[in-house]
Structure formats: C-alpha cells, structure tokens
Structure 1
Amino acid sequence: MDTSQRAESPAQTHPFVQKLRMHREFFHRTLECFRDEDASFRVAPETMTAAGQVLHAAAAIEFFLSGVFGVFEGWSAMSQRQRGFVDMSWTQGTNTGIEERSTAPEVQEAGRSLKKAAELFDRSMDSASAMFGARTMEELVQVPLPPNPIFPPWFTASHVFEILIDHTAHHRGALAQYARGLGLEPKIPYFEMAEALHEAMLTTGQESGAGAPVAASK
C-alpha cells in the first residue's frame, strides 16, 4: 500500500500540531548555516552560547508543557515539574545556558554539538505535539489554568501555547544574529532564501520567483 495515500490521523491534523511542525521547520532552517563547532560561540562574554540558545528554547518548551499538563518524560529538569506555574526557581541563572548548569551527559554533549542540541529541541517539540495533540481544541481554549502568580485567571492552555511559540521564535531570531556574528548567512526562516538577499529585495523593491515561499511540510 502506498503510505502517501493514507489519511492523516486526527493528531496530525490538529491545528496546534500543524503549527508546531511549521515552527520546528522554521527553527531548523535558521540553524542550517551553522557548523557543529559553532556550538560554543557567544556574541558577548555574558551571553548564552549558540548551543545554549537552542537548549534554552527546548527546555522552555518543556517548562510550558509541565506547567499545563504536569510531569512527563522529557530530557530536561523542566519536564519533572508539577502542573501549575507557581514554582519560579527556574528564573535563577536564566542568563546562563542549561549546559553550564546541568551535569547530565547528553546535555553536556549538546553544549558541544549543535547537532545534539537540535536533537533535544526536536524531542521537546515531539512532546509538545503529543501532549497538545491529545487534547481537543475545546479543552485547550475553554478550560482555564489553575490559579497561579504568572498568568491572568482567564488564561487557558491555548494562551500558554502561543507564548511557547513566541518564545521559540524569539530565540530563533537570536540565533540568526549569532550566525551573522560568525560571518555566516542565515536563511529567512519562512522559505529557502538567505536573509541578506531577502532584505536587499525588499529594499530595492525587486520581485523574483526565485526563493518563493515554501509551504511547511505536513
């Protein structure tokens, strides 16, 4: 049987799962220009490394997941937090990378290898897809979160989801600046075109079929 003809499962067509898939693609497109040995690069002495940016984005996904759904099997300590957004101890040392605070072997490896860091990012995204995809949209948009000191009382899982996406995009943008600091040419995350070329086209008003937006894979 041709597997390409199989209908997608409900989880695969879930709006949140589709959005996570799209943003995972955006994140990886930004990472494409890096070399594995760029993992330890910093734009300034007190900033996170390039690998630290990836790991921070990934662990934050697990922080949001455990806050909404409770303890799960993730790679970071964030996955072991109880449901709710009450414990704020995670804010300590947020300007340093996780690889600098954790002794876990795979986290240490990820601090030296952007390839490994990207693998952990993908694991976090897989967890997000599984956990959000297992809930109906009604559950996600209608049921308020338990009382907590961070979010307003009307916040639901869907609001946390949007913050998760926004935070991931924020660190994707930071990585594009890291790439430029290394003299590399990052792609615009949304399609196959270098950022510099895209900016030049916008400045000059040029239009071209080359590098037209590519739809995220489904």
Structure 2
Amino acid sequence: MSPKSEHYDFANQLLASKDFFDRSTRVLDEADSGFRPKEGMMTVAQQVAHTAQTLDWFVEGASRPEGFDLDFEKHAKALEGVISLAIARQQLEAAYGNAVQFLRSRSAEELLRPLPPGPVMGGQPISDIVWAMVEHTAHHRGALTVYSRSLGKVPPMPYGG
C-alpha cells in the first residue's frame, strides 16, 4: 500500500497568521488610527494598510512574469493617505482573502514552480511566499503591540484564545 499524496494547504498558515494579527491588534480602535510613536514613522492605520499592501505585493510578484514591483517609493506614497484603521482592516481582510484564494487555486505542482528571477526570492518555489508573508505580518503585528503599549493598552497574547 502506498501513501496517497496529499496537497498541503499553505493557506492555513496565512489564516493562522491572520488570527494572530487580529488578536494582537484588537485593542486598537478607530481613535488610534493616527497614532505614531515618533514623527516619520507609520501610523497605526498605515501599519495595517502596509501589511495588506504587502500581502497583495507577494501574490502579484508570484503571478507576474517580471516578478516583484520594486518601486518602494510608490508603495510608501500609497500609504500616505491612509487615515482610518477601520478601512485599513478592511484592506487587510481583502488581502488575506486574495492570498488564500491564490494559494488554494494553485496545484501543488504550480506552487513548486520557481518565482521569477530577481533580487526578491528569485528562483525559490512560489510556495515560499507563504513564510515571507507570515514573517512580514508577524513583524508588523509586533510593531503594533509596541504601539498599543505606548497608548497604555495591553494587547492579548497572539496565540491565546
């Protein structure tokens, strides 16, 4: 009897990271949208919007023959107008949905294909964008817990219930 090959659902890792992000940042509310610890840093709303933007960036980079869009100035400029945490959370929800759909609509073979050549993960399997998205999201989740504490709020442990 040979074991049946099963398709690993990479989307589950993303969904877990979403739960961790949501749990860690739920103490932040709309009134906190414009808070930034120091001038020149992203606001709470911009941190969340940037997290959404980057999830989309990874999916787009894995989908385009030319790979990742490295115009980071353009990406940063797009965040300047973000002033609402509620809207940023909606963007994040949509970005997670897009990433999950992308992963679940690809076969195991497709996810093993190499990413386009370039300085960002060039030649690695497409599936490797998952750990990068999880890691990037965790980074901003951590930054937002520092923001929360600076506001006198205590964020819950991300891995708890």
What TM-score bracket applies, with the shorter chain setting the length?
0.7 to 0.9
Seq. identity, %: 33
Bigger Cα Rg: 1
1:148 paired to 2:128: no
Corresponding position of 1:84: 67
Letter in 2 for 1:27: F
Structure 1: any 5+ residue segments left out of the alignment? 1-12, 71-81, 101-107, 193-218
User: Is residue 167 from structure 1 mapped to residue 136 from structure 2 by the alignment?
Assistant: yes
After TM superposition, the runs of 4+ consecutive aligned structure 1 residues lying more than 6 A away are none
The aligned amino acid for 1:183 is G
CA contact (8 A) 1:14 1:133 kept: no
How far does the alpha carbon of each residue in 1:143-178 deviate from its partner, in whole angstroms, 9 at most, with x for none? 11222233243x111112211111011101100000
Question: Relative to 1, partners in 2 of residues 1:97 and 1:54: Cα closer, same or farther, differing over 3 Å?
Answer: farther
1:137: Cα distance to partner? 2.4
Count residues with an aligned counterpart: 155
Equivalences for 1:28-177 in 2 at 5 Å? 28-70=22-64, 83-85=66-68, 87-89=69-71, 91-92=72-73, 98-100=78-80, 108=81, 111-140=82-111, 142-153=112-123, 155-177=124-146
The one-letter amino acid paired with 2:91 is L
| Equivalent runs, 1:199-210 vs 2, <5 Å | none
Pick from 15, 25, 30 the counterpart of residue 21 of structure 1.
Answer: 15
1 CA distance for matches of 2:49 and 2:108? 29
Q: Which letter does structure 2 place at the counterpart of 1:84?
A: G
Structure 1 residues 98 and 174, CA, compared in 2 at 3 Å: closer, same or farther?
farther
Pick closer, same or farther for the CA change 1:66–1:26 going to 2, 3 Å. same
- Indicate the residue corresponding to 1:76 in structure 2: none
Segments of structure 2 that go 5 or more residues without pairing to the other structure are 1-6
Tell me by how many angstroms 1:138 deviates.
3.0
CA RMSD in angstroms comes to 2.0
TM-score (norm 2): 0.87
Contact 2:51/2:92, CA 8 A, preserved across alignment: yes
Greater relative contact order (Cα < 8 A, sep 6+): 2
Contact 1:176–1:186 (8 Å) recurs in 2 = yes
The equivalent of 2:158 in structure 1 is 189
